[in-house]
């Protein structure tokens, strides 16, 4: 989205969508409220493909010890969703965490949320 007003509206919508009590949604909401950068990309991709992709990433993060929030839950929810999803990203203001949002096609509901701690020294 472009323009300050549209960006503020999108930020407010994302905060409303992140009302869940799971740790990934709470952390993503707190990041947004703390001034995190965010983007929601146009277009959709089948949820099953994201489920597969992020199941591979889950195995990788477990092997390498990378800290995640809600990744296993996100993989499960994406596998059950059965419809295309839109992808959004929230980058914490300090760059320490990246949160991924999987939204319904119309962007009006959250399907799943996950977060991954960035490696020390990674650029924000």
What residues make up the domain containing 23? 4-117
Q: Are 91 and 73 in contact (CB under 8 A)?
A: no
Query: Is 118 in a helix, a strand, or coil?
Result: coil
The tens place of each residue's pLDDT in the chain, 124 residues long, gives 445 677 788 889 999 999 988 999 999 999 999 999 999 999 999 999 999 999 999 999 999 999 999 999 999 999 999 999 999 999 999 999 999 999 999 999 999 999 999 976 455 4
CA distance linking residue 71 with residue 94, whole number of Å: 21
On whether residue 103 sits in a domain, the answer given is yes
Report yes or no on 50 lying in a domain: yes
Domain tally for the chain? 1
On whether residue 40 sits in a domain, the answer given is yes
Q: Which two tokens stand for residue 86?
A: 């839109």
Q: What is the pTM of this model?
A: 0.89
Give the other-Cβ count within 10 Å of 11's Cβ.
18
Q: Is residue 122 part of a domain?
A: no
**What is the CB neighbour count within 10 angstroms for residue 76?**
14
Asked, for residue 123, whether it belongs to a domain, the answer is no
**Nearest to 88, CA basis, from 67, 75, 68, 102:** 102
């Amino acid at each position: 989205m472009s323009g300050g007003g549209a960006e503020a509206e999108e930020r407010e919508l994302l905060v409303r969508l992140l009302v869940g009590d799971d740790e990934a949604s709470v952390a993503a909401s707190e990041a947004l409220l703390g001034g995190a950068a965010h983007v929601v990309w146009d277009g959709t991709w089948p949820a099953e493909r994201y489920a597969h992709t992020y199941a591979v990433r889950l195995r990788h993060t477990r092997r390498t010890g990378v800290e995640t929030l809600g990744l296993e839950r996100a993989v499960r929810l994406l596998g059950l969703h059965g419809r295309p999803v839109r992808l959004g990203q929230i980058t914490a203001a300090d760059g320490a965490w990246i949160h991924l949002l999987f939204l319904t096609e119309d962007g009006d509901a959250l399907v799943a949320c996950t977060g991954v701690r960035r490696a020390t020294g990674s650029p924000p």
